Structure 1
Amino acid sequence: MSTVLIVQFIALAVSVLSFGVALWLYTWVKSQPSKNSRVETIAELIRRGANTFLRREYVVLAKFAGVAAILILLFIPHPIWTGGALDNILMAVAYLVGTAFSALAGKVGIQVATIANKKTAVAAQQGIKPAFLAGFRGGAVMGMAVVGSSLLGVTLLFMLTQDATTLLGFSFGASSLALFAKAGGGIFTKTADISADLTGKVELGIPEDDPRNPAVIADNVGDNVGDVAGMGADLFDSNVASMAAALVMAMSLDNGTPGKNVLTVFLYAALGLLASILGVGTAKMGRGGSPTRALNSSTYVTTAVYAAITALATWQLNLEWRIWGAAVIGLLVGTIIGLATDYFTDDTKPPVRHVAKASQSGPAFTILSGVSYGFLSVLPAMVGIAVASFASYLITAPLGAGYAMFGIAMSAVGMLSIVGMIISNDAYGPIVDNGRGLVEMCDLGDTALEITDSLDSAGNTVKAVTKGFAIAAAGLTVIALLGAFIAEVNEAIVTRGLNIELLTGFDIMQPDVFFGLLVGAAIPAVFSAMLILGVDRNAQRMVTEIHRQFKEIPGLKEGKAGVTPEYDKCIDIATTGSLKELLPAGALAIISTLVVGFVGGVHAIGGFLTGNIVSGLLLALFMSNSGGLWDNSKKYVESGHNGGRGSDAHKSAVVGDTVGDPFKDTAGPSINTQITVVSLISSLMASLFLTFSLF
């Protein structure tokens, strides 16, 4: 048995181990006490609403996936009537498997999050330690399951086909579903969040999770469908895309037969999941400890373990130390970007406190200061991505032709190596947010509310860090996918015997490249506008419904006993509106790529991808960080600073948070999926763009 095959079986074994750990964590979470009839009732409303949305969303996306699979069958990697039908069949099947795995990631997240939220709420009555563990281990179920399934899917598909290009189809399936799932979930969650805040906090001065508010259940449902299901599909997609891009280049460097470079990709990915499993096991917190410190320390443990065990494996198997160096550069830069994001979004740091102070002067100053700090926060991350790609390029270039771009791909694999821990931290956020809502709605006491407030604040900070990490990882991944696109074009030139020079790069002074560059740079801005306008229109409909209920249901506003809002009406508005709004923005990204490719050819697509990557990363980082900054500024005021709850500063901070909501939870994190999708489409369509372009 070859060493490559042994490593692939090791990858499969680590995937199975992660499923075992996920099952143990799920069983542990489920076994925690939650015997409180009021908590059970409200939690069931949230669970039912989340599953209803997911079911309706997946029906819509299944239709899209079916149409896309037929088009792939007919045209990719080449028109089916020109011969080689098996390649087209494999690509279509790989695409459908990718969508199914991505959908499963969302479903698993919803399943555990809607159990962990009530366990966290009840555990908060016992203390911060049990509440933290319930929230974190609930999130870790998703982390282990998502990364395990991505490694399992890529490994099995590669072992069956021995074709890295087919993996691009698998990755496109994951990415296209993630794009729509993240957009749809983001529109849902921010529709409800904005509506609940504006009508509750600003108009009536009632608490965030007051059960009188008709939007409060939809708000809690939204945390699950947006921040759990959507983000799970998003990071599943990023992990698969990074491995697919690296394997395309590895197969090229190994001359079409799996060798040392393919082995390195699978080995580093498997060890990354193993490090995450060990990191999850170390996440503990003392009675007087800080939840933020506990979450961050487990991330640092995972990072250190990964660096050590990959170094040991590199030494034992006599692999290239330069490739290891590229992977570790990505890993370290990802950690640094997370720390920079933390500085701009943590309420113990100056930016958040300055925005909270500015809120005392009115909402205009809240917006101006938040926008300014949001733009400032972009620089460290963009420089970090630039340094990671440049350093990885330089360190691996001496290995030979093609290794420089492979180094960038391995840097992306390294950055995403600890994605199991990143997803665990990210899913923790909405779980404890829901737990806090249940504590307030079910009146579980001031102590439990203080504990869940502390957990929620840590969740907001860590969630901002994980979003920054996910966007940075997507940035490195799509740079690697740009390399995969060049490799696919050159393979098509050689295979078809075309009398065309092989691609080595793109000259922006060429008119077709510059044309693509400008169009590509504009797409993320238009894409973001469509999503935010979707939230705007949907939230206006929900605010009208909330006003109707407060007006027409006697005793609701006063909180009379036995009077409950019509929660389902708000859930239905959020669901129907988000499903209506999610398709146009995603379709824009896909159709614009096809138009540019068929008009300008492969050089125009090179410019298009470059412009899309740079513009997309900038906007994604700005919106994600400014949104997190506004959110924590609001929470900082609510904790008693700068006037506290009900003050003018509080109302201004709520307005800032309302603007930031669709920034950080709808448009921002959806852009990194958008740039991945257009990069994958370009690689899959490379042969067609080369043959059928207008110019």
Structure 2
Amino acid sequence: MSAPTLVQGIELGANDYTILGVVAVVAVVALIVGFVLRREVLAADAGTPKMQEIGRAVQEGATAYLNRQFRTLLIFVIVVFVLLFALPAEDLGERIGRSIFFLIGAVFSATIGGLGMRLATAANIRVASASTQEGGREKATRIAFRTGGVVGMFTVGLGLLGATIVVMAYAGQAPKVLEGFGFGAALLAMFMRVGGGIFTKAADVGADLVGKVEQGIPEDDPRNAATIADNVGDNVGDCAGMAADLFESYAVTLVAALILGTAAFGLQGLLFPLIVPAIGVITAIIGVYITRTREGESSLTTINRSFYISAGISAVLSAVAAFLYLPNSFADLTNPSDADVVDAMAGSNPQVIAIVAVLIGIVLAAAILWLTGYYTGTEDKPVQDVGKSSLTGAATVILSGISVGFESAVYTALVISAAVFGAFTLATGSITVALFAVALAGTGLLTTVGVIVAMDTFGPVADNAQGIAEMSGDVEGAGVDILTELDAVGNTTKAITKGIAIATAVLAATALFGSYRDAITQALVEAQETAVNAGTAFAFEVFAPNTLVGVIIGAAVVFMFSGLAINAVTRAAGAIVFEVRRQFRENPGIMEGTVRPEYGRVVDICTRDSLRELATPGLLAIFAPIAVGFGLGVGPLAGYLAGAIASGTLMAVFLANSGGAWDNAKKLVEDGNHGGKGSPAHEATVIGDTVGDPFKDTAGPSINPLLKVMNLVSVLIAPAIVYFSVGDGASTPLRLAIALVATAIIVAAVVVSKRRSTSIADTPADAPVS
């Protein structure tokens, strides 16, 4: 097989294709293991007829929502495909490949999200049933975790396979084509995260406010019309949305590593970032299969042990791979596209840099797991303090939860910053190699993604299992205790995976920031200009006023995005509150248990509102970098990205951990502490949990794909900005016109969004349902 003609001068030999072939086989093995695990989950007992009836209702609602969401997103995908094809590229082949793999990335992201949702809706009744059997705790834990294992295997399998195919087909041009692959994955993930998050939290908030607070009935009481929608939401938000989110983290981190790797390590830098995640596939399989609960051991301890064992194996195998594949001198690297690397790094060892960088990523994942678990787990002081604050009312619960969020955001940001700085300082002689080290830290963290996805999916499956058990009334005694424990563990694992997803987003965004710099440099060289003589629009200095303006705008966009997402939940939840109240008011038999609530109507309202609301945050993410870049220049756009990464890191952790602390504080009270269920303390924690729902499951997680979408958009448009700013294509009127159009789109989207009611009281009780 002969390599194509390459712009960067990197050609693949027979040995290189053999390595890529092995990586592709490992990716296929992950998919096969995913199918095996899926069959094992589906072979478990499906529960009582009543459980199956409730499960079918949840599955039908989730499937209907995802199908409508994908039809809606198809419009965005087509438009972006056309725009992406119009952007400049080295040649027609690269342009076509970038656009086609944008579609493939989007399809893979949607596929993984849909798979996660569909299997979770089948697994939840099996977990509920397993809790009633002998050895129920171990069986229920295993089914829930292996359900997540299926999604994890498909995440790493499709992500690695897609990237490997691109490298095999395009070799040195692969990083440019992979920009499209990563962008497709990130764009779909962001929309699924936002839409699914709005759906699930609108239903959850509405169900809690009317059911728990006003009517005094349990969370998953079948008399509450919002219960089915709440369970549907867990699947479309936490399963489909988070699975797509972690897949795009996987894809985008690979994109950044390959872009920087070809510049820093040449051919070896193109292949080594694929070898490390391939090792992660093997360790993920081990991690899923060794997850077995021991006698007297909590499920969280079991899951954490599996994570640490798989991470340790990844560290050892990655170090061995670096010694076997990479040379011990930069002079022995093959064709680094940055010609200054060899001279700048003389005397340094690529093997050591790669090993330490990968280890930093793995250690970062372990540190985030511990830190997030501490701030959101029921066994630790922060959540216990939030629970105690419920004795003095809802206000103190909210204040203490906010305090936990702020404090945890600081420590998490410092840990992530230490990892980034540690990786960066591995190569002080070359900023290109230093940025590649940051990207390699990201690939190190990727070795744990298979287990991370399993941990995340465990949460909503356990939550749904408890809900189905309560609604069916077929689980009693020890089974109830088992499902209650698994639900609390699931809250912690979801919070942990959100923390790790945030860390992945920061590493990927930082690496993409370096890719953005590389894209600007190349474009300026092609235009025969330099950043010095091209004008202030190309100044990257932090102390430059225009760059500082970009920093402020970037931070502001994160706040605007978060506000839009939370406000969307507020509006949608308002409609749910009025609908559930209406049904209780007009059908007294519902409370008596003689009339079945109209579950489908609430599902329809959530679907309508979530799909209507997801457009504005999505348009903001895509067009804000375009407006800043074409309007102010690539220097301010660099500042914009820096501001977004900094504020996004803190905001995402704050929102996720505040919400997680409020949720588990409620669990503490419901377990009998501080007065137990029905007490004033319980009502206070329910209100806190209600505030935290859109924090931790809508706005917070949506920031992860937001950062990567904005970085990828910036990388993609950088050559066009340079082209219209300097050289033969310079046209200030056209450049400013593009910026104004982008700004107008953002303003119009926000205005339309704000015109919708932000007050629950303004929502008519008989709001039409489409």
Q: Same fold (TM over 0.5)?
A: yes
- Of the structure 1 ranges 214-223 and 385-394, higher mean CA displacement relative to structure 2 is found in 385-394
| 1:135 is the counterpart of 2:108 | no
Equivalent residue runs for 1:174-213 within 5 Å: 174-213=185-224
Which secondary structure does the structure 1 equivalent of 2:633 belong to?
Answer: helix
Unaligned runs of 5+ in 2: 1-12, 328-350, 726-731, 737-770
Residue 107 of structure 1 is aligned with which of 111, 114, 123? 114
Deviation, 1:218, is 0.3
Native 8 Å contact 1:22 1:145 kept in 2: yes
The CA deviation string for residues 334-390 of structure 1, in whole angstroms up to 9 with x for no partner, is 211221111110111111111111111011101111101110001221111111111
Residue 11 of structure 1 is aligned with which of 7, 10, 23? 23
Residue 572 of structure 1 is aligned with which of 588, 604, 611? 604
| 1:267 is the counterpart of 2:299 | no
The CA deviation string for residues 476-523 of structure 1, in whole angstroms up to 9 with x for no partner, is 110000001011111112233335449998311112211111100100
Equivalent residue runs for 1:476-625 within 5 Å: 476-501=507-532, 506-560=540-594, 563-625=595-657
Task: Give me the whole-angstrom Cα distance separating, in 1, the residues matched to 2:227 and 2:531.
Answer: 61
Equivalent residue runs for 1:209-358 within 5 Å: 209-254=220-265, 259-319=267-327, 320-358=351-389
Deviation, 1:111, is 1.8
The CA deviation string for residues 15-50 of structure 1, in whole angstroms up to 9 with x for no partner, is 111111111111111111124110111000000000
Which secondary structure does the structure 2 equivalent of 1:295 belong to?
Answer: helix
Deviation, 1:254, is 4.5
Change beyond 3 A, Cα 1:610–1:318: closer
Which secondary structure does the structure 2 equivalent of 1:34 belong to?
Answer: coil
Residue 626 of structure 1 is aligned with which of 658, 676, 692? 658
Native 8 Å contact 1:330 1:388 kept in 2: yes
Equivalent residue runs for 1:61-100 within 5 Å: 61-77=73-89, 84-100=91-107
Letter in 2 for 1:592: A
Change beyond 3 A, Cα 1:435–1:594: same
Native 8 Å contact 1:109 1:228 kept in 2: yes
Equivalent residue for 1:445?
Answer: 476
- Of the structure 1 ranges 281-290 and 627-636, higher mean CA displacement relative to structure 2 is found in 281-290
Task: Give me the whole-angstrom Cα distance separating, in 2, the residues matched to 1:401 and 1:183.
Answer: 35
Residue 415 of structure 1 is aligned with which of 445, 465, 481? 445
The CA deviation string for residues 148-202 of structure 1, in whole angstroms up to 9 with x for no partner, is 1011111112211222111011100110111110000000000000011111111
The CA deviation string for residues 222-278 of structure 1, in whole angstroms up to 9 with x for no partner, is 0000000000110101111111001001122355xxx12222111111111211111
Residue 62 of structure 2 is aligned with which of 50, 56, 64? 50
The CA deviation string for residues 384-423 of structure 1, in whole angstroms up to 9 with x for no partner, is 111111111111335x452111101111111222101100
| 1:360 is the counterpart of 2:371 | no
| 1:29 is the counterpart of 2:47 | no
Native 8 Å contact 2:358 2:440 kept in 1: yes
Native 8 Å contact 1:77 1:684 kept in 2: no
Change beyond 3 A, Cα 1:262–1:651: same
Task: Give me the whole-angstrom Cα distance separating, in 1, the residues matched to 2:366 and 2:689.
Answer: 26
Task: Give me the whole-angstrom Cα distance separating, in 2, the residues matched to 1:607 and 1:235.
Answer: 26
Task: Give me the whole-angstrom Cα distance separating, in 1, the residues matched to 2:303 and 2:628.
Answer: 44
Task: Give the alignment's TM-score, normalised by structure 2.
Answer: 0.87
Task: Give me the whole-angstrom Cα distance separating, in 2, the residues matched to 1:95 and 1:313.
Answer: 30
Residue 465 of structure 2 is aligned with which of 428, 435, 440? 435
Letter in 1 for 2:716: L
Task: Give me the whole-angstrom Cα distance separating, in 2, the residues matched to 1:76 and 1:153.
Answer: 23
Native 8 Å contact 1:251 1:261 kept in 2: yes
The CA deviation string for residues 276-319 of structure 1, in whole angstroms up to 9 with x for no partner, is 11111111112432100011011001110000111122223345
Give me the CA root mean square deviation.
1.5
The CA deviation string for residues 656-691 of structure 1, in whole angstroms up to 9 with x for no partner, is 000000000000000111011000000011101222
Native 8 Å contact 1:76 1:91 kept in 2: no
Native 8 Å contact 2:547 2:637 kept in 1: yes
Equivalent residue for 1:404?
Answer: 434
Native 8 Å contact 2:389 2:397 kept in 1: yes
Task: Give me the whole-angstrom Cα distance separating, in 2, the residues matched to 1:194 and 1:576.
Answer: 16
Deviation, 1:71, is 1.1
Change beyond 3 A, Cα 1:212–1:491: same
| 1:158 is the counterpart of 2:158 | no
Task: Give me the whole-angstrom Cα distance separating, in 1, the residues matched to 2:539 and 2:229.
Answer: 48
Task: Give me the whole-angstrom Cα distance separating, in 2, the residues matched to 1:122 and 1:261.
Answer: 49
- The structure with the larger Rg is 2
Task: Give me the whole-angstrom Cα distance separating, in 1, the residues matched to 2:143 and 2:275.
Answer: 32
Task: Give me the whole-angstrom Cα distance separating, in 2, the residues matched to 1:418 and 1:361.
Answer: 41
Native 8 Å contact 2:47 2:126 kept in 1: no
Task: Give me the whole-angstrom Cα distance separating, in 2, the residues matched to 1:37 and 1:50.
Answer: 20
Residue 51 of structure 2 is aligned with which of 25, 32, 39? 39
Task: Give me the whole-angstrom Cα distance separating, in 2, the residues matched to 1:269 and 1:206.
Answer: 47
Deviation, 1:76, is 4.2
Native 8 Å contact 2:237 2:697 kept in 1: yes
Task: Give me the whole-angstrom Cα distance separating, in 2, the residues matched to 1:514 and 1:119.
Answer: 54
Equivalent residue for 1:684?
Answer: 716
- Of the structure 1 ranges 503-512 and 41-50, higher mean CA displacement relative to structure 2 is found in 503-512
Consecutive aligned runs of 4 or more in structure 1 exceeding 6 Å deviation: 502-505
Deviation, 1:75, is 2.3
Task: Give me the whole-angstrom Cα distance separating, in 1, the residues matched to 2:326 and 2:706.
Answer: 38
Deviation, 1:620, is 0.3
Task: Give the alignment's TM-score, normalised by structure 1.
Answer: 0.96
Equivalent residue runs for 1:117-132 within 5 Å: 117-126=124-133, 127-132=136-141
Native 8 Å contact 2:622 2:710 kept in 1: yes
Which secondary structure does the structure 2 equivalent of 1:32 belong to?
Answer: coil
Task: Give me the whole-angstrom Cα distance separating, in 2, the residues matched to 1:284 and 1:652.
Answer: 36
Task: Give me the whole-angstrom Cα distance separating, in 1, the residues matched to 2:679 and 2:704.
Answer: 37
Deviation, 1:333, is 1.6
Task: Give me the whole-angstrom Cα distance separating, in 1, the residues matched to 2:589 and 2:413.
Answer: 53
Task: Give me the whole-angstrom Cα distance separating, in 1, the residues matched to 2:47 and 2:558.
Answer: 47
Residue 387 of structure 1 is aligned with which of 418, 442, 465? 418
Native 8 Å contact 1:323 1:396 kept in 2: no
Equivalent residue for 1:171?
Answer: 182
Task: Give me the whole-angstrom Cα distance separating, in 2, the residues matched to 1:7 and 1:108.
Answer: 29
Which secondary structure does the structure 2 equivalent of 1:556 belong to?
Answer: helix
Change beyond 3 A, Cα 1:359–1:505: farther
Which secondary structure does the structure 2 equivalent of 1:286 belong to?
Answer: coil
- Of the structure 1 ranges 158-167 and 675-684, higher mean CA displacement relative to structure 2 is found in 158-167
Deviation, 1:330, is 1.4
Task: Give me the whole-angstrom Cα distance separating, in 1, the residues matched to 2:295 and 2:35.
Answer: 27
Native 8 Å contact 1:490 1:502 kept in 2: no
Equivalent residue for 1:81?
Answer: none
